[in-house]
Amino acid sequence: MEAAPVPAPEPFRPPGSSVLSLDFERLRSKLLTYLKPEDVGRVEAAYHFSASAHEGQFRISGEPYISHPVAVAAVVADWNLDSQALIAALLHDVMEDTHISKQEIAERFGKTAAELVDGLSKLDKIEFRSQEEAQAENFRKMLLAMASDLRVILVKLADRLHNMRTLDCVRPAKRRRIANETLEIYAPIANRLGLNNLYRELQELSFEHKYPLRFRVLSRAIKAARGNRREVVGKVLASIEERMPQWGISAEVQGREKHLYSIYRKMVEKHLSFSQVLDIYGFRVIVPDIAGCYLALGALHAMFKPVPGKFKDYIAIPKANGYQSLHTTLIGPFGTPVEVQIRTREMHHIAEAGVASHWLYKEDEKTLTELQQKTHSWLQSLLELQNTSGEATEFLEHVKIDLFPGEVYVFSPKGTIFSLLKGATPVDFAYAVHTDIGNRCVACRINGDLMPLRTELRNGDQVEIITAAHANPNPAWLSYVRTGKARAQIRHFIKNAQQEESVALGERLLNQALRPHGLTLGQISTFAWDRFLRDRGVRSKKEIFSDIGLGKRLPVIVARRVAQAQDQESGRPDVIKPKPAGAILIRGSEGIAVQLARCCQPIPGDPIIGTIRKGQGLEVHLHDCPTVAKLRGDRGRWVDVEWEAGEDRLFDVTIRVLTKNARGVLARVASAIAEADCNIQNLNMDNEQGAYTALNLTLQVRDRMHLAHVMRAVRRVPEVVRIGRLRGDGRAG
């Protein structure tokens, strides 16, 4: 959407009910070719209404503002969209820039048109912390409106196209920002919807305004190269046109120059100079049917040698946006690589107009229905992202990820094809199959072999996901998943798990902090809680517990305030008999809200202490850990904790073993550890001490007794000089 219109330098009189601008006259003539006269009448009424609403407003270029809505409607008319979409195009700025309300639009032009205009209007009345947050929230609103009616995004894309075509009058900094936004968001959306012509034009215009100097230099280079390569292009075109009838193929052959932005991107990605980019021309062969596509491919491969690995069959496996074609690269005359696309007339319609072909070409209902289903599934995925993404900026980040170009096609064990982003992993595949499969994923098989979950998938891989009933998403997955859905679902699960765990921990911490006041949580009355919550502007006890569990509130302070509220309610005397606070019992398997410190790696049997870290919950350290020494004076920041008996799980602990340099010593140490019923999780060596080598081994043990047993076993290895547990300060002790 363009910035707020500038005031008119002089009074402007909008077209009256009997006067039409020349631009609208042309638009009206176009509409009469495919709309009923009464629908054209409604569109004309919207034009007069918009002209009146924008009276006295001018664009930065000095043109009457009404010229912009008319131009947007003209783009929409090129896709043969219906009268409601055209009305929305003409009125898309009236709610934002004038006093007109959604209710007034609904009364004059119907509820549908009003909803479309509302979906296109920015959230001007809301205060945002930053421009990025405002942009993200506006974008989220538009996409959610689009999920219920696709015409919202089509009108928005037409609006963006006209703004890009007239961007010369905008100051350079704003021009670059708008161009960048178009490249990052709007051009990829046009591509995702199959609007190929629009996608290319938005890219070209963005390139021109974002990198004006590079655009001009590359334009001049292309013009100079045309003359040099005209002979090659003409020869290839003539050869293809001559060969097709010989194979009994009726084909239309087109030669085309590649777009500047695609050439520029190839130069950047492959670190090429312009002279090294040989394939700046492409060819398109349009045939009557699918059989003709494969026959034409055979004819081309018989005529010119194909480049190995450069053939793609998008007919058998269409792109997510419905695009279908055969792509092949051939070695043409003079050794020049030549790209050729082969498709049917219907495929050509879809490739050029995408979802808009639903309005343009009604004859190929089967293909269009499949395309609509794919678009619908994408829109549903946007709604899922909306439900799992709390912040608008997070939602925008996930959508941007999914709009990133490049696809890889993989198969489920049943043969179902899944289209994923290039670089996607089995975790992305698991979430693409179903959210529950992703959440319960523990391992995978790729082409029958067990592989790590971070493995990058390749075209044609068959992927099988192994699940476990009690498994949960691993936060580490966020470092390598590629799809927006996987990222959003993992974050959503972790956020919810952290919320639940922090509430439970907060309850335990507050109960402990109340004991010195002679109270327990069960003794605090509803009246006292209400008073406490009202005084602090908090909605619920759950929010207080969560804040305590996450370290945002100190339990001793909350306990004091709650006890005061209880005293006021019950009239208890000030002098009460305090009870021992008691320790919080730690199992070591609580999850996100309770974490075992990595610096000192406490294990059951160790004397421990808990510290409350803001935003992270309770962290358990060894009693003598140097990290918590400085917190000793701050009673509110540390908590008495003890190990809960009977917890059967393994804990990581690191030991440092100093050995003599001798052949086979590592094997003997490892064997001693294995015989002590212990697993080595990690190992690193330091042999800078001359005749000795220091081994740092991270082991998995049950408790302190188990660790002592392991260390005794290692000490019996003859080459071992010294052994100790690695302390928080990096020394063995």
- Taking only the tens place, the pLDDT of each residue in 425-435 is 999 999 989 88
pLDDT in tens, 298-311: 999 988 888 888 88
Task: Answer yes or no: do 343 and 397 share one domain.
Answer: no
Would residue 98 count as lying in a domain? Answer: yes
Q: Are 466 and 551 members of one domain? A: no
615-657 pLDDT, tens digit per residue, is 566 788 888 887 777 666 565 567 778 887 766 678 889 999 9
Helix (H, G, I), strand (E, B) or coil at 138: helix
Q: Are residues 382 and 358 in the same domain?
A: no
Do 124 and 225 fall into the same domain?
no
* Residue 321 sits in the same domain as residue 246: yes
Cβ neighbourhood burial of 634 (10 Å; 0-12, 13-18, 19+):
exposed
Please tell me the distance from the alpha carbon of residue 488 to that of residue 493, in angstroms, as a whole number: 9
* pLDDT tens digits, one per residue of 136-178: 666 666 666 666 677 888 888 899 999 999 888 888 888 998 9
Whether residue 569 has pLDDT greater than 70: no
User: Is 60 exceeded by the pLDDT of residue 471?
Assistant: yes
172 in a structural domain: no
Q: Whole-number mean pLDDT of the chain? A: 79
Between 648 and 223, the more confident residue is 223
pLDDT higher for 347 or 121? 347
Write out the E strands in 332-467: 337-344, 407-411, 417-421, 441-446, 449-451, 463-467
d(CA 293, CA 299): 10
pLDDT of residue 11: 33
Q: What is the identity of the amino acid at 502?
A: S
The mean per-residue pLDDT over the stretch 106-122 comes to: 84
Mean pLDDT of 117-145: 61
Across 463-477, 556-570, 671-685, least confident range? 556-570
Q: Phi first, then psi: what are they for 226, rounded to 5°? A: -55, -50
> Are 590 and 673 within one domain?
no
Q: How far apart are CA 450 and CA 463, in angstroms?
A: 10
What pLDDT score was predicted for residue 127? Answer: 44
Does 171 map to a domain?
Answer: no
- CATH code, 457: 3.10.20.30
Q: Which of 601, 624, 643 is the last residue of a domain?
A: 643
Residue 379 contacts residue 124 (beta carbons within 8 Å): no
* In a domain? residue 200: no
Residue that is last in its domain, among 491, 514, 543: 491
Q: Is residue 196 in a domain?
A: no
Kindly state whether residues 518 and 626 are assigned to the same domain. Answer: yes
For the residues 393-412, what does the mean pLDDT come to?
Answer: 65
Q: For residue 184, is it within any domain? A: no
Sequence-ordered alpha helix ranges (H) in 458-580: 484-514, 526-536, 541-549, 555-570
Query: What is the tens place of the pLDDT at every residue in 526-558?
Result: 888 888 887 777 778 888 887 777 777 777 778
Look at residues 643, 676, 698 and tell me which one is the last residue of a structural domain: 643
For the entire predicted model, the pTM comes to 0.61
For position 710, what pLDDT does the model report? 93
Number of domains in the chain: 5
- Looking at the fold, whether 240 and 359 belong to one and the same domain comes out as yes
In this structure, are 554 and 573 located in the same domain? yes
Concatenate the DSSP letters of all residues of 154-189 into one string: HHHHHHHHHHHHTGGGS-HHHHHHHHHHIIIIIHHH
**Residues 250 and 354 occupy one common structural domain:** yes
Give the per-residue pLDDT at 609: 84
The per-residue pLDDT for 681 is: 86
The answer to whether residues 361 and 353 touch, using CB atoms and an 8 Å cutoff, is: yes
CATH number of the domain to which 238 belongs: 3.30.460.10
The parent domain of residue 271 ranges over 213-363
Query: Which residue type, as a one-letter code, is found at position 353?
Result: A
Torsion region of 52: left, alpha or beta (phi above 0 gives left; psi -120 to 50 gives alpha): alpha
In a domain, 242, yes or no: yes
- Read off the pLDDT of residues 46-60 as tens digits, 9 standing for 90 and up: 999 988 888 888 888
Residues with catalytic function: 96-97
**Comparing 265 with 231, which gets the higher pLDDT?**
265
Query: Is the same domain home to 637 and 658?
Result: no
Which of 133-147, 328-342, 443-457, 707-721 is least confident? 133-147
197 located within any domain: no
